[in-house]
Structure 1
Amino acid sequence: MSFLFVNAVILLALYLHAYGVTGSYGSGSVASSIKKCGFPGAGSNADLFSKTARKSLRNLVHQVGASAPQNGSLSRFHRERIEGKKFSVSPTIVGGSRAVLNQLCWQVTIRFDAGTFYYECGGVIVGPQTVLSAANCYVDQGTHAPKQNITVVVGLINSDTFNITASGACAESYNVSQLILYPDFSPFNFTRDDIAVIKLDRAIDLDGKPCACRACLEDLAPKPGDLCIASGIGLESTEDTNPVSPLKWVPQAVLENTQDKCFWLIEGDLGEVGDSTTTEPISPVINNFTVGSICAGGVVGEDICFGDGGSALMCLDENEVAYVAGIASTGTAECGVGIGSQYTKIKDYFQWIRQIALPEDVL
């Protein structure tokens, strides 16, 4: 065996190992396994997670008051009246940077049609037919959303879920075969167990779509001080009224779950449920409650906001691969005020997700 051939074999082995090709997926071919989880569809993880990435396209010009109360918390969904009637709009990422085409390929946008209203939330791809999101996005006045009223859209570059062709040929919508909320989730206390698994009616072509990829699902949680990112599509300040807004991402540092840093620990009573359609009060939060939650953010002008609910808090593991650490859940009624927002901690629900998802779908 020649020296050159041996070196070629070694280089191929290193390449396959670096790209996670340790087994087959789908057809069993190497080609179907090359596109592994945890890497953006454009650029690299360094573009998102390096300290120099903490720059902001701050656009806080639209400072018009929110229709929601300014004390307490709101779930992070986006709600609009349809059929030509008056509508109310809730925003998403405050500050942050616009994503380049295909960069945040694990991001999906999810629309729940509820008759007069529709709701928009984010989600994260963890398998060809499996998406994670926030449970609070799929309840309307305490009633769970029927799966036929939910549409999952892959590859959007802006918030227009009714005109996905504007985002390019890669964008595609999917119906839902099953919506599963965590069994202990309460629509009247979404400060805990706020997670849902969505199974699609058909597989996303992760190998053929540059705008779609899997976030890694790991039994792992970030520690305070880790720099992660959140993303979303929606308006850019608490009172922005722009009808269409871009896909953005923002760095979010993980904080200690302490009363002076995290909004849901600051107040014992978090006010009313944030969909503005019910007056049922949220149950008081015990101040030492930390199980199931990650506190992140805390920088004035850089935050998740209402329409960003269900999107991922993405962090890096020891191999510099991006994994989904949390799901955007709730935060202060006025976004970007320098108080940490709440993310559902994936590690505490990891086994449940693996049990619920199709066994061949989530690696």
Structure 2
Amino acid sequence: MLKIILVVILLSAHVDLGTSMAVPGARIFGGSTTAEGDWPFMAYIYVVKAGHPNKHICGGSLISNRWVLSATHCFETPDRNLYRVRLGEYSGSVTSPNEQNFSVLRLVLHQSFDPLAFLFDIALIKLSRAATFNQYVRPVNLVRAGRCDDPSPNFPVDACYTLGWGKTSVGGGTSDTLKKVRSYIIIHDACNEITVANSTKYGGRTVERCQAKFCGTYDAGEDTCEGDSGGPLVCRHSDNQYYVHGILSYGTTPCGQNLPGIYTSVAVCRGWITRNMRL
């Protein structure tokens, strides 16, 4: 198994993180196209200026009819009035009758978010009204609560994906349509060794064995980058349902360096999610 994991690491392409801050980014390039309705839990988060849509900043996951899960670093300011959420989005250039647009009633940023180490890079968005569930808008499951030192889960090939509308090449533009990239969760010790050995490329950030973040890697020639941050790493479980395991947080600068992307662990943060959704 260790040999298989090491081969996956060597063949992987890496991440740069999508954010409105001056930090490493995450964009999907070399990934696969999706069809409208394939991933009905995906949320398209954008900012508004003078009352008009301005630009897409991050992705997110619909986890109930009122709540979306994303990353704290996506929000330069905690002013909820600056942000909007679109569900049922597929193409940024084509308005679809399947889209549902929302203002933000509450924006919950993790109180322990560390902008240097990017610990607890997780946020909750409460929508201004309840989403209407249908073929194109439907929530995703959350992985069960776990400890930071739990063994990394093992999934077969084609079980896990990261999704987003981020940039499709280094220095290029964002994707007009939602894209996916096959993802693999890396064991804790290997993640630590990789980030320590390449700390400069990660802006000095490392992933220690017991932290609320983990490494995810991709097939050769595929990656995530700017604009994909806040989006989920989802895995298909034995019940044939998808569960969110990670929230895309950061990676190397530039991306595409055959190094993993770094994700906030939903399992470790599950208690925080549950508590804040009750408020």
- TM-score for the superposition, normalised by structure 1: 0.63
Q: Give the Å deviation of 1:225.
A: 5.4
Gap change, CA 1:318 and 1:241, over 3 Å in 2: closer
Q: What secondary structure, in the 3-state scheme, does the structure 2 residue paired with 1:148 have?
A: helix
CA distance in 2: counterparts of 1:300 and 1:333, whole angstroms: 18
- Asked whether 1:246 is paired with 2:177, we answer yes
Letter in 2 for 1:218: V
Q: Give the Å deviation of 1:309.
A: 0.2
Deviations 1:211-247 (A, max 9, x none): 11111023157515554100001331112136x5221
- Asked whether 1:136 is paired with 2:67, we answer no
Gap change, CA 1:312 and 1:75, over 3 Å in 2: same
Gap change, CA 1:263 and 1:93, over 3 Å in 2: farther
CA distance in 1: counterparts of 2:202 and 2:191, whole angstroms: 18
Gap change, CA 1:238 and 1:224, over 3 Å in 2: farther
Q: Give the Å deviation of 1:76.
A: 2.1
Cα root mean square deviation, aligned: 2.8
Q: Give the Å deviation of 1:258.
A: 3.9
2:264 matched residue in structure 1: 344
Higher strand share: 2
Q: What secondary structure, in the 3-state scheme, does the structure 2 residue paired with 1:308 have?
A: coil
The unaligned stretches of length 5 or more in structure 1 are 1-72, 80-89, 161-165, 273-283
Task: Give the structure with higher Rg (CA).
Answer: 1
Gap change, CA 1:181 and 1:96, over 3 Å in 2: same
CA distance in 2: counterparts of 1:297 and 1:77, whole angstroms: 19
- Asked whether 1:215 is paired with 2:140, we answer yes
Q: Give the Å deviation of 1:267.
A: 3.5
- TM-score for the superposition, normalised by structure 2: 0.80
Q: What secondary structure, in the 3-state scheme, does the structure 1 residue paired with 2:274 have?
A: helix
Q: Give the Å deviation of 1:288.
A: 3.2
Letter in 1 for 2:153: K
Which residue of 87, 92, 98 maps to 1:154?
Answer: 87
The unaligned stretches of length 5 or more in structure 2 are 1-14, 147-151
Alignment of 1:1-363 (within 5 A): 74-77=16-19, 92-113=27-48, 118=55, 120-139=57-76, 144-160=77-93, 166-190=94-118, 192-206=119-133, 209-219=134-144, 223-224=153-154, 227-241=159-173, 245-258=176-189, 264-269=195-200, 284-285=204-205, 288-358=208-278
1:25 matched residue in structure 2: none
Matched residues, number: 253
Letter in 2 for 1:230: T
Q: What secondary structure, in the 3-state scheme, does the structure 2 residue paired with 1:241 have?
A: coil
Q: Give the Å deviation of 1:119.
A: 5.3
CA distance in 1: counterparts of 2:162 and 2:70, whole angstroms: 13
**Contact 1:112-1:151 within 8 A present in 2 as well:** yes
Gap change, CA 1:286 and 1:303, over 3 Å in 2: closer
Q: What secondary structure, in the 3-state scheme, does the structure 2 residue paired with 1:326 have?
A: strand
Q: Give the Å deviation of 1:77.
A: 2.4
Letter in 2 for 1:237: S
CA distance in 2: counterparts of 1:332 and 1:170, whole angstroms: 35
